[in-house]
Amino acid sequence: MAKTPTDFQTLRDLATRIRIHSVESTAAASSGHPTTSSSIAEILSVLFFRTMRYKVSAPRDPSSDRFILSKGHAAPALYGAWVENGVVQESDLKKLRQLGCDLEGHPTPRLNFIDVGTGSLGQGLAVAAGMAYLGKYIEEATYRVFCLIGDGESAEGSIWESVNFASYYHLDNLVLILDANRLGQTRATMVGHDLELYKKRLEAFDFNAIIVDGHDVEALVKAFDTAATVKGKPTALIAKTYKGRDFPNIEDKENWHGKPLGGETERVIKHLKSLIKNPGKLNYTIPAPLSEVPAVNISNIKLSSPPNYKQGQMLATRQAYGTALVKLTESNPRVVALDGEMSNSTFSEAMKKYGPTNFIECFIAEQNLVGIAMGISCRDRTVAFASTFAAFFTRAFDQLRMAAISQSNINICGSHCGVSIGEDGPSQMALEDLAMFRSIPGSTVFYPSDVVAVERAVELAANTKGITFIRTARAPTAVVYPNDQIFEIGKSNVVFSSPKDQVLIIAAGVTLHESLLAAKQLANSGVAVRVLDPFTIKPIDKIGIVKNARECGNKILIIEDHYPEGGIGEAVLAALAEEVNIYVKHIAIPRVPRSGKPADLLNYYKIDAKNIVNHVDEVIRK
Amino acid sequence: MAKTPTDFQTLRDLATRIRIHSVESTAAASSGHPTTSSSIAEILSVLFFRTMRYKVSAPRDPSSDRFILSKGHAAPALYGAWVENGVVQESDLKKLRQLGCDLEGHPTPRLNFIDVGTGSLGQGLAVAAGMAYLGKYIEEATYRVFCLIGDGESAEGSIWESVNFASYYHLDNLVLILDANRLGQTRATMVGHDLELYKKRLEAFDFNAIIVDGHDVEALVKAFDTAATVKGKPTALIAKTYKGRDFPNIEDKENWHGKPLGGETERVIKHLKSLIKNPGKLNYTIPAPLSEVPAVNISNIKLSSPPNYKQGQMLATRQAYGTALVKLTESNPRVVALDGEMSNSTFSEAMKKYGPTNFIECFIAEQNLVGIAMGISCRDRTVAFASTFAAFFTRAFDQLRMAAISQSNINICGSHCGVSIGEDGPSQMALEDLAMFRSIPGSTVFYPSDVVAVERAVELAANTKGITFIRTARAPTAVVYPNDQIFEIGKSNVVFSSPKDQVLIIAAGVTLHESLLAAKQLANSGVAVRVLDPFTIKPIDKIGIVKNARECGNKILIIEDHYPEGGIGEAVLAALAEEVNIYVKHIAIPRVPRSGKPADLLNYYKIDAKNIVNHVDEVIRK
**Nearest chain A CA: its distance from B563 CA (Å):** 7
Sheet holding B493-496, edge to edge: B493-496, B529-533, B503-507, B555-559, B583-587
B586 CB near a chain A CB, below 8 Å?
yes
- Most A-contacting residue of B181, B398, B406, B545 (CB-CB within 10 A), to test interface: B398
d(CA A606, CA A598): 12
A601 CB near a chain B CB, below 8 Å?
yes
d(CA A517, CA A603): 14
Q: What residues of B are in contact with residue A549 (Cβ under 8 Å)?
A: none
Supply the pLDDT for residue A2: 54
Q: What residues of A are in contact with residue B33 (Cβ under 8 Å)?
A: none
- Interchain contact, B573 vs A573, CB within 8 Å: yes
Q: What phi and psi, each to the nearest 5 degrees, are found at residue A384? A: -100, 135
- What pairs with residue A586 in β-bridges? A558
SS3 string, A74-125, reads HHHHHHHHHHHCCCCCHHHHCCCCCCCCCCCCCCCCCCCCCCCCCCCCCCHH
A584 CB near a chain B CB, below 8 Å?
yes
Alpha carbons within 13 angstroms on the beta-carbon side of residue B197 total 17
- In this complex, the residue of B31, B566, B578 whose CB is nearest that of residue A570 is B566
Chain-centre distance for alpha carbon B518: 39
**Nearest chain A CA: its distance from B4 CA (Å):** 39
Active site residues of B: 366
Look at residue B385 and give its three-state secondary structure.
strand
Interface of B with A in 144-203 (CB under 8 A): 152-153, 155-161, 164, 168, 184-187, 189-190, 197, 200-201, 203
DSSP A270-295: HHHHHH-S--S-----PPPPSSPPPP
Supply the pLDDT for residue B4: 73
Report the alpha-carbon angle B558-B559-B563, nearest 5. 105
B288 CB near a chain A CB, below 8 Å?
no
B2 Ramachandran zone, left/alpha/beta (phi>0; psi -120 to 50): left
- Interchain contact, A397 vs B392, CB within 8 Å: no
To the query of whether residue A366 is one of the catalytic residues in this protein, the response is yes
What does each C-alpha distance from B455 to B41, B299, B314, B481, B534 come to in angstroms? 50, 17, 16, 12, 16
Architecture per CATH, domain B493-620, reads as 3-Layer(aba) Sandwich (3.40)
| One-letter identity of residue B192 | G
B538-597 pLDDT tens trace? 999 999 999 999 999 999 999 999 999 999 999 999 999 999 999 999 999 999 999 999
d(CA B120, CA B130): 18
Q: Between β-strands A335-339 and A383-389, what pairing exists: parallel, antiparallel or unpaired?
A: parallel
Helices (H), B169-261: 195-204, 217-229
- Interchain contact, B184 vs A159, CB within 8 Å: no
**Nearest chain B CA: its distance from A474 CA (Å):** 14
- Interchain contact, B442 vs A204, CB within 8 Å: no
- Interchain contact, A106 vs B428, CB within 8 Å: yes
The answer to whether A265 and A207 have CB atoms below 8 angstroms apart is no
Q: What residues of B are in contact with residue A100 (Cβ under 8 Å)?
A: 594, 596
The answer to whether B182 and B38 have CB atoms below 8 angstroms apart is no
What's the DSSP call for residue B559? Answer: E
**Nearest chain B CA: its distance from A414 CA (Å):** 14
Residues of chain A with pLDDT under 50: none
- Most A-contacting residue of B96, B99, B369 (CB-CB within 10 A), to test interface: B99
Interface of A with B in 246-285 (CB under 8 A): none
- Rounded to two decimals, the pTM is 0.98
**In chain B, where does the domain assigned CATH 3.40.50.920 lie?**
493-620
Report the alpha-carbon angle B209-B211-B214, nearest 5. 125
- Interchain contact, B168 vs A190, CB within 8 Å: yes
**Nearest chain B CA: its distance from A252 CA (Å):** 18
Q: What phi and psi, each to the nearest 5 degrees, are found at residue A12? A: -65, -45
Supply the pLDDT for residue A620: 97
By CB atoms closer than 10 A (0-12, 13-18, 19+), residue A299 is exposed
CATH of B314-478, one of 3.40.50.970, 3.30.460.10, 3.20.20.210, 3.40.50.300: 3.40.50.970
d(CA A580, CA B62): 55
B615 CB near a chain A CB, below 8 Å?
no
The residues, ordered by sequence, that sit 6+ positions from A535 with a Cβ below 8 Å of its Cβ are: A446, A447, A448, A449, A453, A457, A487, A488, A491, A492, A493, A508, A541
Q: What phi and psi, each to the nearest 5 degrees, are found at residue A388? A: -165, -170
A31 CB near a chain B CB, below 8 Å?
yes
**Nearest chain A CA: its distance from B421 CA (Å):** 11
Q: What residues of A are in contact with residue B100 (Cβ under 8 Å)?
A: 594, 596
By CB atoms closer than 10 A (0-12, 13-18, 19+), residue B231 is exposed
Supply the pLDDT for residue B476: 97
- Most B-contacting residue of A106, A198, A364, A465 (CB-CB within 10 A), to test interface: A364
Helices (H) and strands (E) in chain A — how many of each? 21, 19
- Interchain contact, B119 vs A427, CB within 8 Å: yes
- Most B-contacting residue of A257, A360, A394 (CB-CB within 10 A), to test interface: A394
d(CA B59, CA B66): 9
- Interchain contact, B157 vs A159, CB within 8 Å: yes
CATH of B8-275, one of 3.30.450.20, 1.10.10.10, 3.40.50.970, 3.40.50.720: 3.40.50.970
B30-62 pLDDT tens trace? 999 999 999 999 999 999 999 999 999 999 999
- Residues B507, B512, B514, B517, CA torsion sign: positive
The answer to whether A233 and A172 have CB atoms below 8 angstroms apart is yes
Q: Count CB pairs under 8 A between chains A and B.
A: 350
d(CA A225, CA B83): 62
d(CA A473, CA A446): 12
The answer to whether A224 and A176 have CB atoms below 8 angstroms apart is no
Active-site pick, A42, A84, A104, A366: A366
The answer to whether A338 and A386 have CB atoms below 8 angstroms apart is yes
Q: What residues of B are in contact with residue A78 (Cβ under 8 Å)?
A: none
- Interchain contact, A435 vs B435, CB within 8 Å: yes
The answer to whether A469 and A433 have CB atoms below 8 angstroms apart is yes
- Interchain contact, B565 vs A197, CB within 8 Å: no
B542 CB near a chain A CB, below 8 Å?
no
B375 CB near a chain A CB, below 8 Å?
no
**In chain A, where does the domain assigned CATH 3.40.50.970 lie?**
8-275, 314-478
Look at residue A478 and give its three-state secondary structure.
strand
- Mean residue pLDDT of chain B comes to 97
By CB atoms closer than 10 A (0-12, 13-18, 19+), residue A92 is middle
Alpha carbons within 13 angstroms on the beta-carbon side of residue B619 total 31
d(CA B520, CA B529): 9
Q: How many residues does chain B have?
A: 622
Helices (H), B358-509: 366-377, 397-405, 433-438, 451-462
Residues of chain B with pLDDT under 50: none
Q: What residues of A are in contact with residue B187 (Cβ under 8 Å)?
A: 341, 361
- In this complex, the residue of A164, A341, A591 whose CB is nearest that of residue B441 is A591
A299 CB near a chain B CB, below 8 Å?
no
SS3 string, A547-588, reads HHHHHCCCEEEEECCCCCCCCHHHHHHHHCCCCCCCEEEEEC
- In this complex, the residue of B343, B428, B585 whose CB is nearest that of residue A578 is B585
d(CA A365, CA A373): 12
User: How large is the ipTM?
Assistant: 0.98
The residues, ordered by sequence, that sit 6+ positions from B52 with a Cβ below 8 Å of its Cβ are: B64, B65, B67, B144, B146, B286, B287
